[in-house]
Chain A
Amino acid sequence: MDKINLRAVYAKYGNAKYFSHLDLMRTMQRAIKRSGIPIWYTEGFNPHIYLNFPVALPLGTESYVEPMDFSVVEECDLDELRDKLDNAMPPGLNIISVKPQIMKNTDVVSAEYDVTLSSENLSAEDVIEGFRSFLSADTIEIHKRSKKKGEVIVDIKPHVIVTDISSEDGLAFMHFKLPAGNSFNLNVNTVLDAFTDKTGISVNTVCIKRTKITAINGEDFV
């Protein structure tokens, strides 16, 4: 029979946020193997478990909304499948849901982040003030390395949307919306590095959490 394409939503948090996207592939393949689900293998010289991640999660970022595509070779109860997979996950990874793939994996256009910052020598209010002035510049030019063109200068200003900015208990909070997916991806750490670069304000990243992944039609990516 034909393979059935599915999309899991997984969470990555705690100690698991310290390994990279490349490590995630290996870790997931092993977890799937342990789970014993009827996973589909590539048909070739060297059969392996095929996984596709529509969007990469940067090292150090937590998330509870990450999509992962895979296929199975027999009809399965999706809740049962979710439970089997979830039980095989290492600490810091969870499978939240397993559903059919509705959108194309290339439909992802943006992602949203909750960012919590602290500073050794400035108050949270000062950090926020600095951030507002950073955002009010006409352009925010950064050096970006590209495979084809080498190092290029990109103005990220039009791409950085900050919808919420506040402070509490000496910490600064911000909510970002940034481009994500295959065509143009902007890492939240790149924005924070640019902030430190332009303003000279050095901050500690207390927590970065991805909260939402949005598709081309403006809806949640499913």
Chain B
Amino acid sequence: MLKDKIEKVLLKVQRPSRYIGGELGSVVKDKSKVNVRFAFCFPDSYDVGMSHLGMKILYGLKNLREDFWCERVFAPWEDYEQVMRENDIPLYGLESLDPIAEFDFIGFTLQYELSYTNVLNMLDLAGLPVYAKDRGEETPIVVGGGPCVCNPEPLADFFDLFILGEGEEVNLELMDLYAKMKKEGASKSDFLHEAAKIEGIYVPSFYDVSYNPDGTVQSITPNCSEAKPKITKRIIRDMDKVFYPDSFVVPFTEIVHDRAVVEVLRGCIRGCRFCQAGFIYRPFREKSSDTVCRQTKALCEATGYEEVSLSSLSTSDFSEIEKLLGDLSEYTDKEKISLSLPSLRVDNFSEELMEKIRKIRKTGLTFAPEAGTQRLRDVINKNVSDEEIMNTCRMAFEGGASSVKLYFMLGLPTETDEDIIGIGELTDRIIDLYRTVNVGKRSPKLSISVSCATFVPKPFTPFEFEPQASIPEITRKQKLLLDSTNRKIVNVSWHNYRISILEAALARGDRRLSAVIYAAWKSGCKFDSWDECYKYENWVAAFEKCGIDPTFYDNRTRSFDELMPWDHLDYMITKEFLIRENKRAHEGLTTPNCRQKCSACGVIQRIGGGCVGQD
């Protein structure tokens, strides 16, 4: 039994409860009574992966089915990986403690590009070859889902199939097909050919890619009759009817987001031009306030969490937000549960909403203006004005707040030095405002933190054609920002740009990057999103070894008629729309949000009406 082996070594590692399962809410079944076993892998640590909502939804959904058993798998931290390898402990599911190499499916959720080396490492820890072509008949089907699947090409060589879009329906269809074909004794290849017929399933080996002499993609051609020329993502129509878990696995040890989470809506009406989530999750669909209330109560009662968070891309765009907060706070106040609202936008903070939030959140304000000047905010279609930022800050300061957190991006398309200096000027105005509001009062010292990311152009956004700023440009801009802010009050920090340039290459990369990921992993790269684990030099060497220049992917302006590596994947928004939006960005023109006016992104034609603002 693997359990004895695990228990013998478990006390040698940090926070061992992450590796033994047995948490409240984890689902243990009799394996002789299930047909299909699914290893749901999150390619990062337990602490990060256990915070992920998608896994909680699909875990609950699959385990509702008597004949399916879904288990959780995370990347072991480095100390435990070493112990596992030394003691021949293969990667196992946390529910059964059985090796995942014995399962029917191994599914990875691909949430960010920097988790790709962990995927390879986990397959290897499972005792499986990392390349799909090297895995035999008797090995599990390796599948991938999540936002990065909108361009999975850099991972194409490692996966058997990808699942595009929302998973609630298609996962069950896929597992049902598998159960049926397993009984018939079908081969893996037979199964993949049948699976390719399901809407939203993409089998990368069924497509051949050729390249132009200049390195761009020339063609992506199906090589079998089941492979559709275009694979369309799946969406859920009715958010009030779709499955939502009424309990979570409650970890013993603290995780990143250690609270109950209720999803209130999908999609986003805003259309910020840099934001991939704002485009790939369209159309905008909401739950009713009653559904959210019911789900919140069920979840809080089942888990005992003392905090619940309302989750979405932009929770303040929820149509019934005032009613929802009213109804919910009645329950949460009584039960002494605190309510948190991430993803609030500054522009639609009403006084009443602010009052409710003030009750909920005692200190601290977080804004994401993303750019320092109105001009650049118009370019990226972040429709937030200076005035709105100041008004919200004023309300917050008058309510006693003394800290402000601001998020920006450096290296946005059309960015000039004035835009960066503008960040410093914005913080100066906030400092002045704080002094004015608190004049004559004994107020705490104001703290402003400015956190800067490096802009990463992403597929299926109007900026998919844009170059990322080069390394010397990024470092120059960072220095300029430091010089333009009042460093006594403003604390400036940024994400490591060396990580952002890798993210950019992987986000818009093609199949030739599989070799680079493999080489980087072989040289010891893993947990690339963790600053302390990221090995920049190894990645540089991996690109060199494979004869691939990352600047080809990062720093090149792509023409509107270039065939993108992901152009055979259909996320319902049209290329014409992306081009139109790109042109408007360069003209400094904003686009109204979907509620104000439909901007004809293409989704409405595909779903046949019923989109926001169209009813």
A residues near B, CB below 8 A?
14-16, 18-20, 22-23, 26-27, 29-34, 41, 45-49, 59-60, 88, 90-92, 204-205
Contact = CB atoms under 8 A, between A and B. Distances in A.
B250 A30 contact: yes
Contacts of B338: 46
A38 to B, nearest CB: 12
A33 B17 contact: no
Interface stretch (B300-308, B464-472, B480-488): B300-308
Given A23-B252, A34-B301, A48 B306 contact: yes
Contact of B24 (A60, A91, A205): A91
Contacts of B11: 18, 59-60, 205
Contacts, number: 70
B51 to A, nearest CB: 15
Interface of B: 8, 10-11, 15-17, 20-24, 250, 252-254, 258, 301-306, 336, 338, 362
A41 B336 contact: yes
A74 B21 CA distance: 36
Pick from B10, B11, B23, B304 the residue with the most CB of A within 10 Å: B304
Contact of A18 (B16, B24, B306, B362): B16
Given A19-B252, A27-B252, A204-B8, A92 B303 contact: no
B494 to A, nearest CB: 32
A203 B20 CA distance: 22
Q: At the interface, is chain B mostly helix, strand, loop or mixed? A: loop
Contact of A90 (B15, B20, B250, B258): B250
Given A23-B252, A90-B250, A15 B304 contact: no
Pick from A26, A41, A92 the residue with the most CB of B within 10 Å: A26
19 contacts: A15-B17, A16-B22, A19-B15, A19-B16, A19-B17, A19-B252, A22-B254, A23-B252, A27-B252, A32-B304, A33-B304, A33-B305, A34-B301, A34-B304, A46-B338, A48-B336, A59-B11, A60-B16, A90-B252
A49 B335 CA distance: 11
B254 A18 contact: no
Contacts of B306: 29-30, 33, 48-49
Given A18-B16, A47-B336, A23 B304 contact: no
A30 B338 CA distance: 14
Contacts of B336: 41, 47-48
A185 to B, nearest CB: 19
Contacts of A27: 250, 252
Contacts of B15: 19-20
A123 B334 CA distance: 61
A23 B253 CA distance: 5
Nearest to A33: B304
B614 to A, nearest CB: 43
A34 B303 contact: yes
A23 B24 contact: no
A29 B304 contact: yes
B302 A91 contact: no
Contact of B22 (A20, A32, A60, A92): A92
Contacts of A34: 301-304
Contact of A45 (B10, B20, B362): B362
A16 B16 CA distance: 10
Contacts of A22: 254
Contacts of B22: 14-16, 90-92
A47 B334 CA distance: 12
Given A29-B306, A32-B304, A60-B11, A18 B250 contact: no
A41 B258 CA distance: 20
Contacts of B252: 16, 18-19, 23, 27, 90
